[in-house]
Amino acid sequence: MTERFSYPDDREAASAAQVRALEALLIEKGVISGQTVDKVLGYFESEMTPLNGRRIVARAWVDPAFSDRLVADTPKAVAELDLPVGMAGAEGEHLAAVRNEPGVHNVVICTLCSCFPWPVLGLPPYWYKDPVFRARAAREPRVVLTELGVPLDDDTEVRVWDSSGHSRWFVVPQRPAGTDGMTEDELAELVTTEAMMGVALASAPGAGTR
């Protein structure tokens, strides 16, 4: 029987409760302070956030030349944008972008652990580290994508990219239909972390993000 993974709310709530308990214990023991926690959380909320990735994707959608530069030399292309966080250090080294196109769909995983481009996508969802997801996405990516609501045509090639300390991949999803005339800010609202991992499609106009 094939193993399956899911995103159960109770597991996410349990993980959050464990984090809160650990935080309270570390503060009680004097290992960290509440101010330290607030500072770190604020950093991830304001600087190291998926908003950076959304801006990159939106620019790639409206500027084909930038899109080509992004795929050819990701760090150099990203440096053209005025992003609030540097791409060096803190899981931002060796950024590499791949682009979904008609007939090609890309998926990003990390088979060894949980390497993830934090400055572009923020912190990874807990299921990204799930051994079942990592194994099955590498072995049968088309089946996993179908289970996640991304059915692909039989003639669509699925390419799986394994993130590591040497290459931290993210996906430029295909631009949704019906978005002609939208501004970059409006387009950025259609981009989700999941779409930049390749496990979802960019949202259609009016559908919002999750």
Q: Which residues are catalytic?
A: 110, 113-115
Residue-by-residue DSSP string for 140-165 = -HHHHHHHTT----TT-EEEEEE--S
Q: Name residue, tokens 């005025």.
A: 82
Separation of alpha carbons 123 and 91, rounded Å: 10
Q: CA 150, CA 108: separation in Å to the nearest integer?
A: 14
- Structure tokens belonging to residue 6: 């899911």
Question: Which amino acid, residue 157?
Answer: E
What one-character-per-residue DSSP string does 51-92 give? HHHHHHHHHHHH-HHHHHHHHH-HHHHHTTS--SS-SSSTT-
